[in-house]
Amino acid sequence: MAVYYESRQSEIYGGTISLIVLATASVIIRLIARQKSAAKLWWDDFIIVVALVFDWGLSACYWMQVRYCGLGRHTNTAGGPVGPVQLLKFYKLFLAIQLMYFASAVSIKTSLILLYYRIFGVVRWFRWLLAAVWAVVLLYFIVCLFVAVFECSPVAYYWDKSIKSGTACTASIIRVIAFDQVKLEDVTYTLVTASIWTTIEQSIGIVCACLPTTRPLIKRFLKGVKDSGDRGSHDKTLKTSTIPLSHFVVRQGLNDSTDTTNDSFVRLADAGTMGNGSVTAHASTAGSDKPPVAAHAILKQQMLEQHVEHAKGV
């Protein structure tokens, strides 16, 4: 009974959604970087967008298999809820998954080849080498596409084994079993790991194809962070810097209220507001060839009264 309720569907959702979001973000960052660098979009950029569309199609097929075909659950033969009707839909979508997989793979490879052509295309022999590599990639895609679609005769025999006189090629089956965990009698449950790795392959391929083109944006971002840190350090230095006391000339013999010598201004605080031990200091700037002059008085209440009485006596 426990087998009946076993499910790995959350693994599929978690793996495919996180990876497709990562691939999408990489393509968006790539396009932004191209715009910031004032470079025009070229064929390698357009093809990587096509690859992303196929990658989304691949993930969507897996989500449909989970929703309608029981992917992540056990089949009836293994004690699970997935019956013949769901298996028929499962194999239909599995054919679509193969087509999306091959289309995405060839698009990623083509985008990389075009990127190399854009960067190193000035070298003639390298252009010929890239053309040869792309021809191999295209041939591989055509062969895989042909095998995936026409491995069964008629094609409907791929998902409906009840068709009489139907024949099947084992190419796709061998490819799936190569993951060493897939059991055909319980394919909807044991195929989960292979499905996640298929998504990883395509999404990480898109990310890797976008990384070389994001360098200008990353460089600008790091420069902005560095400049912001430098400005913050400079402002902090200005706020905390002080002038040593030795640079000031202490002037004594203050008048009653002001002294305008050397453009300085001094005002003694009212006696009522000056408590014991209070300090009143005023600084002014002298000429450009003289150090700053500070007129300050450290006066206690009693000292102030004595000074006033002495002035009156004179």
Distance CA 45, CA 31 (A): 7
pLDDT at 162: 75
Q: What does the pLDDT average to over 82-106?
A: 92
Residue 223's identity, in one-letter code, is K
Residue 278 has pLDDT above 80, yes or no: no
pTM over cut 0.75 = no
Please give the Cα distance from 275 to 282 (Å, whole number). Answer: 18
- From 104, 169, 170, 178, select the one nearest 141 (Cα to Cα): 104
In angstroms, the Cα distances linking 182 to 83, 119, 179, 202 are 18, 43, 7, 20
* Tokens encoding 126: 């390298």
pLDDT recorded at residue 119:
87
* CA–CA dist 135, 16 (Å, integer): 31
Q: Give the Cα separation of 203 and 130 in Å (integer).
A: 23
- Residues 72-83 have pLDDT tens digits of 999 998 888 999
Q: Beta strands 152-153 and 167-168: pairing type?
A: antiparallel
Residue 186 phi/psi, 5-degree rounding, is -140, 50
The neighbouring-strand residues paired with 82 are 75
pLDDT at 218: 76
**Which tokens sit at 36?**
């910031």
CA 10 to chain CA centroid, Å, is 24
The token pair at 148 is 């995936």
- For the stretch 11-62, pLDDT in tens is 999 999 999 999 999 999 999 888 887 778 899 999 999 999 999 999 999 9
Max mean pLDDT among 84-88, 117-121, 271-275 falls in 84-88
Of the two residues 104 and 304, the one the predictor is more confident about is 104
| Chain segment 225-274, per-residue pLDDT in tens | 766 666 666 566 655 555 554 544 444 444 444 444 444 444 444 444 44
What pLDDT score was predicted for residue 154?
Answer: 80
Q: Give pLDDT, residue 294.
A: 42
pLDDT score recorded for residue 240: 54
Confidence of residue 276 (pLDDT cuts 50, 70, 90): very low
103 contacts: CB under 8 Å, gap ≥ 6 = 54, 141
Q: What is the pLDDT of residue 170?
A: 53
Nearest Cα neighbor of 107 from 70, 72, 134 is: 134
Q: Cα separations (Å) of 22 from 115, 205, 207?
A: 21, 11, 8
- Max CA separation in the chain (angstroms): 135
How far is 53 from 105, CA to CA, in rounded Å? Answer: 12
Phi, psi torsion values for 167, nearest 5 degrees: -125, 150
Q: Where are the beta strands (DSSP E) in the chain?
A: 152-153, 167-168, 249-250, 280-284, 293-297
Contacts of 177 (CB under 8 A, 6+ apart): 184
- Give how far Cα 231 sits from Cα of 223, 236, 237, 292, Å: 12, 9, 10, 28
Report the percentage of the chain scoring pLDDT > 90. Answer: 40
Residue-wise pLDDT for 127-167, tens only, equals 999 999 999 999 999 998 888 888 777 888 777 777 776 66
Residue closest to 48 by CA, chosen among 141, 114, 127, 143 = 114
